[in-house]
Amino acid sequence: MNRENSRERYDRALDVLVGGVNSSVRAAPQPYPTFVEKGDAGHVVDADGNRYVDWVMGLGPLLLGHDLPESVQAAVQRRASEGPMYGMPTELEVEHAEFLARHVPSVEMVRFVNSGTEATTSAVRLARGVTGRNKIVVMQGGYHGAQESTLVEGDAEHPGPSSAGIPQSFAEHTLPVPFNDAEAAKEVFERHGDDIACVLVEPMLANKGIVEPVEGYHETLRDLTDEHGSLLVWDEVITGFRVGGLGCAQSKYGVTPDLTTFGKIIGGGFPVGAIGGRTDLMEEFTPVGDVFQAGTFSGHPVTMAAGLETLKFAAENDVYEHVNDLGSQLRTGLEDVVAERAPEYSVVGTDSLFKVAFTRGANADRSDDNPGPRNAADVAAGAVERWNRVFRPQMLDSGVMLSQNQFESQFVSYAHTEEDVERTLDAYRSVL
Ligand SMILES: *Cc1c(COP(=O)(O)O)cnc(C)c1O
């Protein structure tokens, strides 16, 4: 496969863009990233004219694939041509917020922002402002964007920054605990309960393999936060309108958080984030309350139009049936391939998320168990180099674009077809 143009563009990029990219994970593919020319339904075409089945899907936002339906296309064009933004409110923001409040159990009010990172940053500030407490509990291997309070590693008694540039004095307010470990959660609340503003948790670890919650884990976090007067904040930036359909993961798992962060799908492919929650909490944000929050581009008309029309399209068509059905076909097919070709690996994911983890959970031998990873430590034990250097490049040669590192999820869109699924399963079968 000729990738000369990608190579040449990356060579140029290395002179003017740090690492040749604008977001770190894009530089992960070996030996250089594929530069995209354009999208087409469930495929992307690269700078050399090669076509791939695309399971990256913008890292999650593209629920409908690369070709936006007529209604979305028209709304975007109209807003862009009427003047892209105003710094004054538009009805679109109201309508989008009404949609979120109507469908997501925990959401009464919304504040739109411009990225998932901004959403989690504001949610943590709100939780701290509301409770008057400083500490937050996060999951080891959880991801909440590139922000100071969550780029933290270690454990609850020894937290430290996971990036240069973050003071230890910030990191010490963040208490990382292992996902799916109810005892560790109870212990951190026994020790620090009176100082904990919130637990910030993804419904599943969706940026570190795909690790689903074990039965009862989220209920434990709900109970602990209630008992100690802390807030439960669900980061649904990736799962929102992806897992659990229009009700999001909180409706699938039947747990209602105090605050929820959104991003990705709710912008229909344009930059977006949002915080949603109960009125009494949300009204602590300025201009009603005292927790400052603002943004020049927040509620951007083009984004609001794209996001709202995407969600409306999903509500009025068989989008979730389609993506979840293909997701299930992929996972079932991959389980056969893995059983036959790589029994030391496991198939993970739910709804329209799928992945082969190059490892199994520490509990995998218990026969009634899901053999997949149960926490970040299980995921980290995966065969990363094999995935990066051998497996992914061969999948690319077979015309299948997988996630850019082993830990990102892969996403089914409404534009994908059964033929894409078959082709992908064939490629896994011959490459694994
Ligand atoms: C993608 C993601 C973020 C960060 O969103 P950005 O828009 O990249 O800032 C935060 N949390 C989760 C769970 C995510 O998947």
Known catalytic residue at 143? yes
Q: What percent of the chain has pLDDT over 70?
A: 99
| Ligand 1 centroid to residue 242 C-alpha, Å | 14
14-28 confidence digits (pLDDT tens): 999 999 999 999 999
Q: Do 378 and 260 fall within a single domain? A: no
- The total of structural domains in the chain comes to 2
Average pLDDT over residues 276-283: 98
pLDDT level of residue 132 (50, 70, 90 thresholds)? very high
Q: Do 91 and 157 fall within a single domain? A: yes
Among 54, 181, 235, 420, which one carries the catalytic annotation? Answer: 235
Q: Do 425 and 348 fall within a single domain? A: yes
Q: Do 169 and 249 fall within a single domain? A: yes
Q: What percent of the chain has pLDDT over 90?
A: 96
Ligand 1 pocket test: pick from 22, 264, 270, 275 the residue with the most ligand atoms within 8 Å of its Cβ: 264
Q: Do 412 and 265 fall within a single domain? A: no
198-212 confidence digits (pLDDT tens): 999 999 999 998 999
| Ligand 1 centroid to residue 116 C-alpha, Å | 4
By residue range, what is the domain housing residue 339? 4-67+318-431
Ligand 1 pocket test: pick from 208, 238, 270, 353 the residue with the most ligand atoms within 8 Å of its Cβ: 238
Q: Do 360 and 416 fall within a single domain? A: yes
pLDDT over 60 (residue 36): yes
Ligand 1 pocket test: pick from 207, 211, 300 the residue with the most ligand atoms within 8 Å of its Cβ: 207
pLDDT level of residue 371 (50, 70, 90 thresholds)? confident
Average pLDDT, the chain: 96
pLDDT over 90 (residue 367): no
Q: Do 172 and 308 fall within a single domain? A: yes
Which atom of ligand 1 approaches the CA of 264 most closely?
A: 7
Q: Do 77 and 206 fall within a single domain? A: yes
Say if residues 225 and 232 touch (Cβ distance below 8 Å): yes
| Ligand 1 centroid to residue 203 C-alpha, Å | 13
pLDDT over 90 (residue 62): yes
Which atom of ligand 1 approaches the CA of 272 most closely?
A: 7
Q: Whose CA is nearest to atom 11 of ligand 1?
A: 144
Q: Do 296 and 326 fall within a single domain? A: no
Of the candidates 281, 316, 351, which is a domain's last residue?
316
| Phi, psi values for residue 281, rounded to 5° | -80, -45
| Ligand 1 centroid to residue 235 C-alpha, Å | 8
pLDDT over 90 (residue 365): no
Q: Whose CA is nearest to atom 10 of ligand 1?
A: 144
pLDDT value of position 370: 77
Q: Do 142 and 255 fall within a single domain? A: yes
| Ligand 1 centroid to residue 369 C-alpha, Å | 29
Ligand 1 pocket test: pick from 24, 121, 143 the residue with the most ligand atoms within 8 Å of its Cβ: 143
Q: Which residues line ligand 1 (CB under 6 A)?
A: 115-117, 120, 143-145, 202, 206-207, 235, 237-238, 263, 273
Kindly report the CATH number assigned to the domain that includes residue 371: 3.90.1150.10
Of the candidates 282, 316, 350, which is a domain's last residue?
316
Which atom of ligand 1 approaches the CA of 59 most closely?
A: 1
Known catalytic residue at 208? no
Known catalytic residue at 414? no
Of the candidates 316, 332, 355, which is a domain's last residue?
316
Among 52, 143, 345, 428, which one carries the catalytic annotation? Answer: 143
Kindly report the CATH number assigned to the domain that includes residue 193: 3.40.640.10
Among 264, 351, 378, 420, which one carries the catalytic annotation? Answer: 264
pLDDT over 80 (residue 368): no
Q: Do 132 and 263 fall within a single domain? A: yes
Could you give the C-alpha distances from 242 to 228, 249, 419, in angstroms and in order? 31, 8, 22
Say if residues 329 and 354 touch (Cβ distance below 8 Å): no
Which atom of ligand 1 approaches the CA of 236 most closely?
A: 13
The span from the CA of 245 to the CA of 243, in Å, is 6
Q: Do 400 and 301 fall within a single domain? A: no
pLDDT value of position 362: 82
| Ligand 1 centroid to residue 269 C-alpha, Å | 13
| Ligand 1 centroid to residue 357 C-alpha, Å | 21
pLDDT value of position 366: 58
Which atom of ligand 1 approaches the CA of 238 most closely?
A: 15
